[in-house]
Chain A
Amino acid sequence: MSALTFAAHTSAISAGHLLRVVNYHNTPASGAEMLRRELAQYAERHRSVTLEDVDTFFETGQWSWDQPPFMPVFYEGYRNSYDVAGAVCDELGITGWFAICTGFVECEESEQEVFARSHFIGLVEEELALGRIAMSWEEVADLSQRHVVFPHTASHDGIADVISDEDVEREITRPKVAMDQVTGQSAAVFAWLHGSPFGTSPRHDGAVVAAGYRYLISNTTVHRIA
C-alpha cells in the first residue's frame, strides 16, 4: 500500500509516474464548442491514453511516445457525456474516459432529475428539457467501442456510504456486472465519489479487487490494484 503523503506523491511524479488529467462533469450542448476548442488545444501538445497504454505503462514504467500523456475524464454518466463529450472525442481522435454512475443509467427517465438532485449529480437548466438526462446502456456500449467506460458506483456513493455487504454488492460489484454485460468487456477501472484513494480501508479495497477491477482512480493517483 502506497503512502498518501505529499512526499510520496512528489517522489512518484519525479520518477515520471505522472499523468495529466482533465476532469469534466456536465458537458451541455451549449458548451460543445468550448469543449472542442479546449480538448483540441490539449491534444496538440499531449497524447491521450488508452487502457492498453496504461496497462503497458504499469509493465514498463514508460509511455511509448514523447508527448506528455493526457486523460480527459467525463464523470457521472450524463446523456450529454455521450452526445457532446463522446462526439467531440470521436471527432478529435481522443480517447475519453467515462466514469458512469450505473444507477443513474438504470434509473427510470421520469425519475432521473430527482436521482441526480439526490446524488450529487449537478444539472444545468438546458438539459432539464431533454427528457432523458442520463446515458442509456446502448450509449455506454457504443462509447466502450472507442473509449474507456467504467463504474463510478451505482448511486454516486462515497466510501463512507458503503457500509453493509448489500451496499458493497450494489455499489461496487453489480455496476461492473451490469456494465460488462452490455459492453462485452471487463470494466477495468473504479472510482469513488470524492475520489477516495486505495489504502484507507482494507475492507473496501478488498471488495474493489474482488469485484475484478484492476485500477482505482482517486483524486490524486491512478492505483494499479490487480
Chain B
Amino acid sequence: MPTVARNSDLAVLRECQDRRLEREGIPMFLALVDERPGRQLPLPPMRHVDGETVALQLRDLRARLAGSQRDGDLGLVVSLLQTAAYVDFNQSLLP
C-alpha cells in the first residue's frame, strides 16, 4: 500500500489518540444495534448515503492501516472508528 497514505493515516491516528482527555473532546462514530431478543433495527426506506460513505471510509482505512488484522479485534475497531470520526468531525468544522 502507498507509504504516503499509510503515514498520513498513522499521523491522524496519533493525533486523535493524543487528545488530552482532561481538556479536549474525542470524536467517535458509534453503531446503533438492537440487542433485544427477536428485534432488529428497521432498515431505512432508501440507501443511506452518509452511512455508506462512512462505512466505505472505514473499510478503506482498515485496508490501508491494518489489513492483516482479524475482524474480531475490537481494539482495532475502536482505533479505526476514532480515526475516521476525527477526520469527519474536523472536515465538518471547515467553512
Contact = CB atoms under 8 A, between A and B. Distances in A.
A93 interface: no
Given A61-B42, A197-B74, A10 B55 contact: yes
Contacts of A21: 27-30, 85
A224 B77 CA distance: 20
A42 B89 contact: yes
B72 interface: yes
A23 B25 contact: yes
A81 B1 CA distance: 43
Interface of B: prevailing SS: mixed
Contacts of B52: 14
A46 interface: yes
A16 B62 CA distance: 20
A160 interface: no
Contacts of A224: 32-36, 39, 41
Contacts of B54: 13-14, 18
Given A15-B51, A18-B50, A62-B44, A6 B32 contact: no
Nearest to B80: A6
Contact of A4 (B29, B74, B80): B74
A28 interface: yes
Interface string A32-48: 00110010011001100
B21 A122 contact: yes
Interface string B12-33: 0000000001111111111111
Interface residues of A, number: 60
Contacts of B89: 20, 22, 42
Contacts of A14: 48, 51-52, 54-56
Contacts of B4: none
Interface stretch (A141-149, A167-175, A177-185, A214-222): A214-222
A204 interface: no
A195 B26 CA distance: 14
Nearest to B23: A31
A4 B22 CA distance: 29
Given A14-B48, A28-B23, A41-B93, A19 B29 contact: yes
Contacts of A22: 25-28, 89
A193 to B, nearest CB: 13
B4 to A, nearest CB: 24
Contacts of B59: 10
Contacts of B55: 10-11, 13-14
Nearest to A4: B74
A15 B48 contact: yes
Contacts of A207: none
Contacts of B58: 6, 9-10, 13
Contacts of B51: 13-18
B92 A1 contact: no
9 contacts: A13-B54, A19-B29, A19-B31, A24-B26, A61-B41, A61-B44, A221-B33, A223-B35, A224-B35
